[in-house]
Structure formats: structure tokens, C-alpha cells
Structure 1
Amino acid sequence: MKKNAITLLAVACCTCFTPLALAAADGPEYQTQAFDSADRTFPLFYQQLKDKMPFTMSWNDKIRNPQKWRKQGIAKAREVIFPYADNTPFNPLVIDEIDRGDYIAQKIVFNISAESRVLALKLVPKGDGPFPAALFLHDHGSKFDIGKEKFVETWDDDDRVASSQAWADKYFSGRYPGDELAKRGYVVLSIDALGWGDRSVEDFATDSQQALASNLFNLGSSFAGIIALEDARAAKFLAHQPKVDRSRVAAVGFSMGAFRAWQVTALSDDITAGVADCWMGTMKGLMVPGNNQLKGQSAFSMLHPGISKYLDYPDIAALSAPKPLLVFAGGQDSLFPLDSVEEAFDKMHSVWNANRAADKLTTKVWPDKSHTFTEDMQEEAFDWLDSQFKQ
């Protein structure tokens, strides 16, 4: 009787589990290979797991009430993405400033959270205001000695001046996009995400990112969640600065900063428009071998555990509708497969159309561009922002 029971159990197990790699035909049936031989980061059953990603709150054309979808989606996204709430007084202090002609550049310290008091770069046009404003959110780039300095020119630090100029030459046509927008009459704030600039450590590009992410998981938070929370806090800080018109506050970002830009545009009531360059796609479309979304270093700064139960990337971006949003992509950008980008763009346009705000969403693929934010892209983006803010 006992032998028959064991036999029945073995048969039952075989009917409910089909091994993906078996031992020799004359040996026992069990998995002997767990990973794709070409890409050792994927388990052989990754496609089955991918197929199970539910996105239960994802936008679809059967939704008849986009306002209700947005309200429920924002509540769920904030619940999953933000690790906690923070209403700590900012208590800002300007510690240095220089005159740049049409505007003043400041180094300003403030409480970005209850745990972190940080140094930011702020640019303020001369005059009485109120002025439109822009929160600049830097990229990842596996370059950590600078963060806020990637978008705004710093001073009195030769190493960072040289490093940021080299970055500007590589990605921004030798310009500092934050300073360019300040010349147009915007108050600009550029901050360091945790791990960059003044908030980094030596050799952060090696195992430190992964270790930080693991430790934050253990602490009940996440790397990406901390960044998202601090971006929302920085948005509130900027919106409440003297001379800022609270009805005209944009988030602007490149690469990982673009991810941060459309994310904070969706989740923060203080951001009224967004500009995102070189970061958009569907979650499944980016989940392909070789993509940096799958690597255990940079990926952690943009991965929110559990979000795929409810919302895809374009869904989160579309929670900002009907706010104005501009999203650029490079046709030669190997990090973002074009079919995934276009699928995401189609979904986003569907949401803005449903909100009767089709003119508020601009998406564009630059056929000859790679992963970059060149002068012509900046000018087109900033002209668009001027038009939205009637600047």
C-alpha cells in the first residue's frame, strides 16, 4: 500500500511539472539545467513567469472613466512605489552663490527627507517673478562622482567641473541643459539621487549598488522607492520656492532621469508638466536578454517590487494625463527596443485621447539618435515646454 501511494505521488508530480531540462533518457527525470546557457541571468522558465505578469490595473480601451482609472492608479502606484510618507520641514539654507548674468546660481542645502539633508544646485532668474520652474533629474550612466552637476554647471570644484563638462560633451552637445533653461527664465533645481555626487562612495559602480538595494529591501524599502520619494519631495520644495509660479513646475530628465521625470509627473501634484528623454518602453518589451533593466546594478534604481501586479511603465507615465508630457526616444538607442517604445507610446496616446487632451502629449522617435539629449533635442523640448507654460 505504501509503495502504491509513493508511485501515485510520483505520477501526480510529473503531470503538474514538465521539467525544462532533463537528465539522460535512461536516468531520473529532473531538471539538470536551470539557466539559459547564453545568458546566465535568466532562469529557463523566465518566459513562463513573464507570461504570468498580470498588470491588473493596466489601461485598456474598455475603460470608460479615465478619471476614475487615474485616481485608483495613482493611489496604488504611490502605495507600491513610495516606501513611506515624509512631511519633514525643508529648512533651506543658501551656502554659496555666483552671478551668471541673467540668473543667479546657488548652492542650497535642505532636508529632502527626515533622514537626509542634501546639497542641491539652484538657478534663479533675475527679476521679481513669479517664474516657471524645472526640476532636473540626472541619469544613471554608471558615473557616480557627479549627479546634480550633470545638468547644472558647478563651480569651485575643479574635479567635478572637469567631470561634468566631459559628461556634457558626451551627451548634451557640450551644454548644461539646466543652465539653458535658466537663460529662458526658469527657476531650476538639480539634485543628487542617493548614490551620486555628494551622496556617493568610491567604487559605487561595482557591488555597492546591489548591496545597497539588498539592504534597503531588508529595511522595508527599496533603492528605486527612496529615489522616487526624494524626487517627489524635491518637487514640493521647488514648487514652494520664492519667485516660483506653482502652476508651472516641470520635471525634466534624461535616461534614468527620464524614468524619474515621467514618474514624478504622474505621482506628484506639485509637477504640472514633464519632459522625458530616452526612457520609455513596456516592461515586457524591455525584459529581453542584454537589456540593462535586467542587470543587478543599474536596474535596482528603477525597479519597484510588485508594481507589475498592477501597472506597466506606460501606465504609470499615463497617470499624469491630462498634464502636458513630452517623451523622446532615439531610433538608434539599443537600450530601448523600438517596438517596445512604440507600443508604450500607443498606450499613452490612448489615455490622453480618452481624457480629451490629445494635444497635451507629445512623443517622438528621433530616427538617427542614440542614447543622448543633444542641442537640437533640447531646443525642441524647451520650446515645447515654453509653449505649454506660455513662457
Structure 2
Amino acid sequence: MKRRAFVTLPPLALASGHLPAPAAASPGSLGAPGPGFESPGVVDGALPVFAERLKAELDFPLAWPHHRDLGWRAWRRLARAKVEELLWQPRDDSAFDVEIIDEQPRDGYRQRQVLFNVTGHSRVRAILLVPDGPGPFPAVLALHDHGARFDIGKEKLIEPWYDDTRRASAQAWAQRYFSGRFIGNELAARGYAVLAVDGLGWGDRGGLTYEGQQALAGNLFNLGSSLSGLMAREDVRAAAMLASLPEVDERRIAAVGFSLGGYRAWQVAALSDHIAATVSACWMTGLREMMVAGNNTLRGQSAFFMLHPGLARYLDIPDVAGIAAPRPMMLFDGEADPLFPAEGVAAAYAKMRAVWADRRAQHRLSTRIWPGLGHVFVREMQEEAFAWLDHWLRRG
């Protein structure tokens, strides 16, 4: 029969309800302070006390360098299939059923409001800009950011002509992040067809608040779905819809985005063969380097739009982007961007350069950290990106 060990507390401690202070943690204990046990269980930045141990376990076994023996195409199929599995959002082959509900002329292009089925559950209003003249044209899927601003989504990238209130909000947004320019309109004036669609929670699909994001994500999990997976699936669908339009050259479609839109840009390039080139501004980092106290991602809420549960057990963030290799990709980050520490950006860029180099496509990957700039996609950056797109997608 086993003996039980009892700890006797002093009578005064029992009577007063005050327990004696815990002893200092002994060497090798799981946490501190505490007599050999973990207490407290969370540290600054909402990280668990064992966060460093978890990070040490992340060796990203599905990353390309571990599978050269498979060959590139087999690895790419394997890696994409794993990402698809963890989206928790099934493939959707619903008819797009595109309907033009408004068209207005503008200098050098036409601006349209269109309806289409972004999934079998959601019919949405989108904005489409089409250059004047004979097509088919090169095209851009313009992917909006997060910014904790939900009254506008697609309007952050294409100037709305149909709503004065949204136009005022959009102009202020463009002034803050884009040197007062609308990225989609600039690209249309240069001869690109441009499509912008609201993500769930923004613009026409609004009603979301910053505090409500976690509940929305949790409820989608309870419904057997995923907020981040839904956004990824909808972006893949939007790229396929754009490729289906008679005005668009399906072989010359780019994904372009800033901030969360930048994340969405390289993600859709990894998941969709419709994307021929990518411009991602201000969203790239290594996962280990991102998961540090004080990082914005640790606050939760908006992180749920980028969180595929379990994916980190297989692939790092740049490993996912690498599925798009060897297609052309440009990544910009600001040296002073508070959301992405320079160490994480540099680590991610190095991983990606190695992947494109293995495909003998170093010239198709462009990475740059802009000195002195923060979380912005200003005119100077835009001009370099537009020239790069012209190089890869414009004939002649």
C-alpha cells in the first residue's frame, strides 16, 4: 500500500486564509516562480511560458530543402495538398454567374460593379476595371489590407464612384498608406484589368468590429470551417473568376496586395495556378521570429485571418510562399515597419531566395527592405512594382 505525503500548514496561515509565499523555483523546474511547478502559465505578450520550447520543436519538416529527393513537382503537390487540407474550407466549383450591374467610363478604362458567386454560399459585389481597346489584357487581382478598418475593403484599392461616404474614407486611407493614390486605378490606367473583392467583414460584407474577430473565427471553427481558410479559398476563387473573363488574358494575371493583402497575394500564388506573378508589400517574416513578445500578431483578433491551425508543424511562412516558385514574385518590406522585425524579414527572404535559386530562377524573385520606411506602400515603391509587373506581364 502506497504511503501518502501530507503538507502541514501553520495554524495562523490556515486561520487567516493566507498561504505562505512560494519558494523560489528549483533548477530544472518548468516555470518560475513556484516550488517545482509552472506558475504563472502566461508571460508578457500572451505567450505561454513554454513558448521557446515549442518554437524549438518547429523544424518545418515539409519544407522544400528536406524533400529534394522527391523532385520539385512532387514536393509542390505534397506541400500544396497539406496547406489545402488545413484550410478547413473545401474546394468550391460553383458557377461564378458574373453579372454587370453598373458601368461608367473613366480616362482610358471602364469601371464596373459586378456580382458573382465567390463561393457557393456568398454572392458578392466586386469592382472591375477594364482598359479601353481590344483585349485580352493582363490583369491584377487587387487584395485589400486589414488595417482594423472595416467600412471599406475593395475601396481601399479602387476609388468608389457609387458611395460618397466610402469615397471619403477610401481617399483618407489612400493618403495614409499609398501616397494618395488608388493602386487599382493606377494599374488600370497602365493597361491592366483590375478586380477587387471584399473579404468577409469588410465593405459590403461588413458589420465586423475589431473585438468581434475572435468570435467570428471561433464560430466558423464550430461550424467546421475556418476564417483564414475561407479568405484563402475566396481569393483562389476570385483569381479563377478573373481568368474566366473574356477581357482578360488568363496567362497574365498578377496578385498584388499590401499588408494583409500582401499575405493574401503570395498565399493565392501558392494555391492557384492562375497567378503568373505576385507583388507583396509589407507582409513577410519567419514564424519563429514573428512569435516574440510585443508582436502585433500575438494580440489575436486580426491574426485569425492568417492562422491555419497546425500548418506550422509542417511549413514555415516563407515555405508556403515558396510553393509559387519559380513564378515571378516581388516582396517589399519597410526597414522601420513595427509589425515585422527586420530579423524575421531577412530570415524569410533568405529561405525564399534558396528556393528560387534551386529552380534556377533567382532573376524571378525580387526582395527589398526599404530604408527608413514603415508599414506603407508609397509612390516610390509602387513605381518600382509597376515597372516590374510590366516587365513580366506586358507584351512588347
Mapped contact 2:107–2:189 kept (Cα < 8 A): no
2:367 paired with 1:363: yes
> How far is the alpha carbon of 1:209 from its aligned partner?
0.5
1:190-339 matches, within 5 Å, as 190-201=196-207, 204-339=208-343
Deviations along 1:121-154, one digit per CA (max 9) or x if unpaired, are: 0000111111000000000000000000000011
Give the letter for the 1:117 counterpart.
R
Deviations along 1:212-237, one digit per CA (max 9) or x if unpaired, are: 00001111111110000000000000
> 106, 112, 128: which is aligned to 2:118?
112
> Which residue of 1 is the match for residue 3 of structure 2?
3
Mapped contact 1:59–1:347 kept (Cα < 8 A): no
The 1-side partners of 2:229 and 2:364 are apart by 28
> How far is the alpha carbon of 1:43 from its aligned partner?
1.8
Paired positions, count: 375
Give the letter for the 1:119 counterpart.
R
Question: Which one has the largest radius of gyration?
Answer: 2
Mapped contact 2:148–2:210 kept (Cα < 8 A): no
Using the aligned pairs only, state the percent identity.
Answer: 49
2:48 paired with 1:57: no
Give the letter for the 2:237 counterpart.
R
The 1-side partners of 2:57 and 2:204 are apart by 41
The answer to which of 115-124 and 289-298 deviates more is 289-298
Deviations along 1:289-344, one digit per CA (max 9) or x if unpaired, are: 11122122111111110101111110010100011111111111111111111111
> Which residue of 2 is the match for residue 18 of structure 1?
29
> 359, 376, 379: which is aligned to 2:380?
376
Give the letter for the 2:292 counterpart.
V
Give the letter for the 1:292 counterpart.
N
Runs of 4+ residues deviating >3 angstroms = 28-32
Is there any run of 5+ residues in structure 1 with no aligned partner, and where?
Answer: 8-14
Mapped contact 1:82–1:228 kept (Cα < 8 A): no
> How far is the alpha carbon of 1:29 from its aligned partner?
4.3
Is there any run of 5+ residues in structure 2 with no aligned partner, and where?
Answer: 7-25
2:357 paired with 1:346: no
**TM, length-normalised to structure 2:** 0.91
The 1-side partners of 2:200 and 2:352 are apart by 29
Q: Structure 1 pair 29/389, CA: closer, same or farther in 2 (3 Å)? A: closer
2:41 paired with 1:34: yes
Give the letter for the 1:112 counterpart.
V
The 1-side partners of 2:88 and 2:221 are apart by 13
The 1-side partners of 2:319 and 2:272 are apart by 15
Give the letter for the 2:2 counterpart.
K
Give the letter for the 2:111 counterpart.
A
> 83, 86, 94: which is aligned to 2:89?
83
Mapped contact 1:21–1:34 kept (Cα < 8 A): no
Q: Structure 1 pair 93/146, CA: closer, same or farther in 2 (3 Å)? A: same
Give the letter for the 1:194 counterpart.
L
2:180 paired with 1:169: no
The 1-side partners of 2:37 and 2:361 are apart by 55
**TM, length-normalised to structure 1:** 0.92
Deviations along 1:4-27, one digit per CA (max 9) or x if unpaired, are: 7x89xxxxxxx9x9330244xxxx
The answer to which of 286-295 and 309-318 deviates more is 286-295
The 1-side partners of 2:88 and 2:271 are apart by 10
